[in-house]
Amino acid sequence: MTQETRQTAPADYGTYLIVWLVLMILLAATVVLAKIDPLHLAVVTSMSIAALKVLLVLLFFMHLKYEKGYYGLMVFIPLVILAIFISLTFSDTYLR
């Protein structure tokens, strides 16, 4: 019997440190944006920053960057459906 091993190229500690620092900067940007609230664009901008943070966590800490394409598709489709539900909820609340 032969045992098939899969070789992946996980990121090194420097990459994780850089991604963590970027996540901390984005967190600080979200907090500062919550204090300012210009023209009620804070919600849209905060959601965009949160989506970017989710993308970074999925790609680097959950190793989706190094997996085959269908794993990313299995994560991407539910996120799109969630985004559709959130946008429909926001539009319903806005039109009331």
C-alpha to C-alpha distances, 6 to 61, 93, 95, nearest whole angstrom: 18, 48, 51
Q: What is the pLDDT along the chain (96 residues), one digit of tens a residue?
A: 556 555 556 778 899 999 999 999 999 998 888 888 666 777 788 888 998 999 899 888 888 888 777 887 888 898 899 989 988 998 888 787
pTM of the shown model: 0.71
Q: How far apart are CA 75 and CA 58, in angstroms?
A: 9
Q: How far apart are CA 78 and CA 60, in angstroms?
A: 19
Domain extent listing, the chain: 13-94
Burial of 60 (0-12, 13-18, 19+ CB in 10 A): buried
Contact 8, 66 (CB under 8 A): yes
